Structure formats: C-alpha cells, structure tokens
Chains A and B, each alone.
Chain A
C-alpha cells in the first residue's frame, strides 16, 4: 500500500522552507529555523507531538501566519507574495473542518467556489457534485452543516479541498473523527490522488496512517525538524541493528568490532551492533571468516513507532 514505491518522485520541491521561524513574545520559538522540503509527487507524513509546531508551520505555508524569519516556497512561488497564483493549486484542510452552520453542505461549497477567482460558474455545480461524490457525501449534500456528524464535517472539508484539481494537498489530520470505514475510504482517496501525481503533506498522529499511505516523512519536535526524507531511507538509517547468534558471544562481538561497527553489545546468546552503511552479507562473511561459530543472523529494522520515539524521545506527550 506504500504509494511511494509505484510513483517516481521528481527532484523539484512542492514545499520548501528556508530557516522558517515563528516567535511569539518571549516564549521559546513555536517554529525554529525549519528547513522543510516536500518533493513533488511525494506523500509526506508530517509527524510530531502535540505542540511541536506542525500547525504553526502549516499556517505559515498557507500565508495565514507571517513568519518571524525565513522563507516559504509553495510549488516554486514565494509565499505569501504568490498566494493569488499558487493557492488555487493548493487544497487545504487546516485544524479541522469549519463551515457556516446554517448553510447546507452544498451551499457551503458554493460559497467557497464563488470566492475562488480561478474557477468558473458554468461547471460549478458539476464540480461540487463530483467533490461531494468523491468523499461519499452526495446524499447528505442538502442537509444543513449543523446536522452533520463529525465524520461528515470532516468529509465536507475534504470535498472543499477537492473542488478543483490541485497540485498540492495540505491535510491536517484528515481522518480525525471518521469511523473505520471512513478512515479506510479517505486513505484510499489520498492514495488515488497521489497516484494521479498530487503531492500531499499529511499531518497526522496515526503512525499506521503514515506507514499505509506515506512515501516520505518529516518529524517535528519542539519547533525543529528532527528528520525528513523517504520513509524507507529513514527507517534504514535510524536504529537498525544486526544480530549474530553464537555460542561464543565475545568472539562474535570481537569480529563485529573489528569490522568497525558501532554500539556492539553482547548477551548470553550472541552479539548485536549498528551496521551503519556496511551491507549485511559482508558482515556475515567477515564473522564467518573470523572463525566465529554462527548459528543465526538477523537484521532488525525498528518499527515506525520506535523510530518516532527515538527521534522525539517522548512519544506523544505534549511538547513543553
């Protein structure tokens, strides 16, 4: 289900921030010197504990908040200066749905589309119907927004982001409030959009969501970026360990150390180490050549959760 595997990711950047910072008064910066890069065509999971600065970053990307320092480029255009040119190509779901409670779902979308100078009136109703249909809300389109369940509200916000073709989608917790079926549908919708070439920046708390739909990941912590890149590269780099099972743990450890591996640890049944850039087959060959009796060999890649915990050091607690 990983979308990155079937689509080439180009060298251009759909989102690029340079030294992006936001400071409120004397408090520690909400966002501190952020260099975020989302490659065109990627589905980037945007992770971080609550209060780590994800939402402030998203608001700066979209021109809602003015950065204290640094620059933002969306689809090659500087923000907020290029907002009029670039934002029509960007669909966004920011901090949950928000619509006029007394209008129907369809009338709310009509209002947003009427506000958009890049779209025409002639095909408005057709485009609205298409967007509502994509999120499974067509039957409830005439209900007032007030009568919507949380999941329906979330779907309407997604429909608003899909009112016209987009090159970039910025989605802040798009499956929040959805039932398991809805969650599945929305993830599949994101995968479809990505397959059509839309770049997606997906802010989420759900690591399973990241592993299911994301090709890339960026991890924020206390206003800074802890890591970013292709999910596979990141997982490979961070915390991967090799294990040699042997009746002579000390000899195994010696062979691993001789190879230049870091963090060599022995236990009762063998030794483990961080392979770094050394390929596993070379490690096996060296250990065997060194005369160590080997009864087993494994490469242990950490799960996304371990990776996340290792990067932020605090799991899902609120950043101070």
Chain B
C-alpha cells in the first residue's frame, strides 16, 4: 500500500496501481519514450534540417531542446491519444468488465468514483509527460551536451535555469492534457466499450485540430483546444513572458470544467445495467 486509506486514498492507490501495472499501458509508455530517442539519434546523425519539427534547429547547442521538440511532436498525436485510451478505461472499462456494479455496491458513491477516476487519470497523464520529458532530456544531453540554452529573446540561459523553463513547459502541456482527460472521462460515461469512448474522444481532438488548420473558420480558432497547445514559447523568453501561457490555460480550464461537469451529470443519473 503506497497511500494511506484516507477519504479516498485506498481507492486512488488501487486505481493508480491498476493503471501502472497494466501491460498495455507499460508498452504504450515505452513507445512514447522511444520517440525522443529516435528523434535525437536521427538529428545527431543527419544534423538538424530546416523542415523538421520546431526547435530542432536549437539542438546543436543544448540537449534540452530535444524535450521541447519531443513535446511539440507528441502533442500532435501520441500524448492526447494515450490520455484518450486511459480515459476510455475509467468508467466504460469498469462497465465493460462488469466491475462497475460491484464497486457501486461496496458502496462507492458515484461522485467519489468519478473524482477518483479523474484524479488517477490526471496523475497518469502527468507521469506520461514526465517520463517522455525525462527520456528526451537525458537523450538530448547525452547526444548534444548541456551547454547554454539560447532564448527566443537572443540571450543565453545556463543549464539549470533552462531546466526550470523546460519543467514549466511540461507542466503547461500537462494542463492542456487535463482538458483531453475531461473529454475522455465524459465519453467514458456514455458507453460500456472503453475503445469506443477512446475513439470518440480522440475523434473530437482530430476534428479540433483539423478545424484549427482551416483559415476560413479562424473565428472558431479561439474556442478550439489545440490552438493553445504550443503557446508556451513565452516561457523561453528572457525575462520569462507568461501572458501567452496564462491566456492559454483558460481554454483547458474551461474545457475541463464543462466536460467534467457533463460526466458528473451523466454518471450520477444513469442506470447501471452493465
């Protein structure tokens, strides 16, 4: 038992253990972490080219740029997809197995179950981001060294301040993923098939990104989630500029509140016939 049995501690610990010990999730996390290694090795061998992912040009001097490049690449598909898959498991997974009815008659109140599931999901998303960022950071430093990081303002940051900036960016990305988690949580209350919930939530994100790429609907762009996913450039300025990040956090906050509320409204009233 890693956590004490407090108000929901026992269940949360059980929930996290269920997520981190599942073989599928371990394999998935490994795949997420292989990407920065591949990216780093390719850049080391062939050198950064102009048409690659953003921030790769900065790699020559500081390995931490590999973290930024990795997060930018993985936020397009891999990290949101991983969160959608885990979110699909939350309620639909238990319903599909039939374990939902046994948890509810323990009893676990539906509100508490949903809160614990969402908390575990957020922790899992954070674990994913930290694992990916750490792998990228270690790979980057090993291949490109730990020299000064050239900021977007043209100045230079030492390794440790630069690491702080990168950690802030990882936190911002995790906050964006919280909105994805809330959408997935809601989808998971609509069905008894975890895959269906995951596909539904991810489909929403694809539409979000496609619309974000169409200039004709630029009036819609401020309301899309993915519009803000790479708004962390201000954190690389000197002195640090947080206006972009703070503005960018409004979107995931609103999405999280709306979809978590929808999940609560749905789950606390639905008949459990699974």
CB contacts under 8 Å to B, within A62-121, are 62-66, 83-84, 87-88, 90, 92, 94-96, 98-103, 110-112, 114-117, 120-121
Judged by a CB distance under 8 angstroms, whether B98 is at the interface is yes
Judged by a CB distance under 8 angstroms, whether A134 is at the interface is no
Check B105 against A100 for contact (C-beta < 8 Å): no
Check B22 against A64 for contact (C-beta < 8 Å): no
Judged by a CB distance under 8 angstroms, whether A160 is at the interface is yes
Check A99 against B109 for contact (C-beta < 8 Å): no
- Residue on A nearest B98 in the bound complex, by CB: A98
Judged by a CB distance under 8 angstroms, whether A240 is at the interface is no
- Residues of B near A59 (CB, < 8 A) are 101, 271-273
Complexed CA–CA distance, A70 and B85 (Å): 40
- Residues of A near B7 (CB, < 8 A) are 117
| Interface SS, A side | loop
Distance between B267 CB and nearest chain A CB, rounded to angstroms = 12
Check B99 against A98 for contact (C-beta < 8 Å): yes
Complexed CA–CA distance, A116 and B13 (Å): 13
Judged by a CB distance under 8 angstroms, whether B49 is at the interface is no
- Residues of B near A115 (CB, < 8 A) are 10-11, 14, 103, 106, 108
Complexed CA–CA distance, A65 and B105 (Å): 12
Check A114 against B14 for contact (C-beta < 8 Å): yes
Complexed CA–CA distance, A98 and B98 (Å): 5
- Residues of B near A160 (CB, < 8 A) are 102
Check B107 against A100 for contact (C-beta < 8 Å): no
- Kindly identify which residue among A99, A110, A116, A121 contacts B106, using a CB–CB cutoff of 8 Å: A116
Scoring A residues 146 to 168 as 1 if CB is less than 8 Å from chain B, else 0, what string do you get?
00000000000000100000000
- Residues of A near B269 (CB, < 8 A) are 66
- Residue on B nearest A119 in the bound complex, by CB: B5
- Residues of A near B101 (CB, < 8 A) are 59, 62, 64, 94-95, 98
Check B97 against A98 for contact (C-beta < 8 Å): yes
- Kindly identify which residue among B18, B109, B271 contacts A64, using a CB–CB cutoff of 8 Å: B271
Scoring A residues 189 to 228 as 1 if CB is less than 8 Å from chain B, else 0, what string do you get?
0000000000000000000000000000000000000000
Complexed CA–CA distance, A121 and B4 (Å): 9
Distance between B85 CB and nearest chain A CB, rounded to angstroms = 16
Complexed CA–CA distance, A160 and B105 (Å): 11
- Residues of B near A63 (CB, < 8 A) are 104-105, 107
What is the interface residue range for chain B against chain A? Answer: 20 to 34
Check B10 against A64 for contact (C-beta < 8 Å): no
Q: Of B5, B18, B23, B272, which is in contact with the most chain A CB atoms at under 10 Å from its CB?
A: B5
Judged by a CB distance under 8 angstroms, whether B216 is at the interface is no
- Residues of B near A117 (CB, < 8 A) are 7
- Kindly identify which residue among A84, A90, A101, A110 contacts B109, using a CB–CB cutoff of 8 Å: A84
- Residues of B near A110 (CB, < 8 A) are 14
Scoring B residues 251 to 274 as 1 if CB is less than 8 Å from chain A, else 0, what string do you get?
000000000000000000101110
Judged by a CB distance under 8 angstroms, whether B1 is at the interface is yes
Q: Of B10, B14, B22, B105, which is in contact with the most chain A CB atoms at under 10 Å from its CB?
A: B105
- Residue on A nearest B9 in the bound complex, by CB: A114
- Residues of A near B18 (CB, < 8 A) are 100, 103, 111
- Kindly identify which residue among A87, A101, A121 contacts B107, using a CB–CB cutoff of 8 Å: A87
Distance between A9 CB and nearest chain B CB, rounded to angstroms = 25
CB contacts under 8 Å to B, within A139-190, are 160
Distance between A304 CB and nearest chain B CB, rounded to angstroms = 30
Check A88 against B99 for contact (C-beta < 8 Å): no
A83-B107, A115-B103, A115-B108 known; A99 vs B271 contact (CB < 8 Å): no
Scoring B residues 26 to 62 as 1 if CB is less than 8 Å from chain A, else 0, what string do you get?
0000000000000000000000000000000000000
- Kindly identify which residue among A83, A101, A111 contacts B14, using a CB–CB cutoff of 8 Å: A111
Check A114 against B107 for contact (C-beta < 8 Å): no
Complexed CA–CA distance, A94 and B104 (Å): 12
Check A87 against B105 for contact (C-beta < 8 Å): yes
Check A99 against B99 for contact (C-beta < 8 Å): yes
Distance between B101 CB and nearest chain A CB, rounded to angstroms = 6
6 A–B contacts, CB within 8 A, in A order: A64-B271, A66-B271, A98-B102, A99-B102, A103-B18, A121-B5
B residues sitting closer than 8 Å to A (CB atoms) are: 1, 4-5, 7, 10-11, 13-14, 18, 21-23, 97-99, 101-109, 269, 271-273
A residues sitting closer than 8 Å to B (CB atoms) are: 59, 62-66, 83-84, 87-88, 90, 92, 94-96, 98-103, 110-112, 114-117, 120-121, 160
Going nearest first, the 9 A-B pairs with the smallest beta carbon separation are: A98-B98, A114-B10, A87-B107, A64-B272, A65-B271, A111-B14, A121-B5, A115-B11, A114-B14
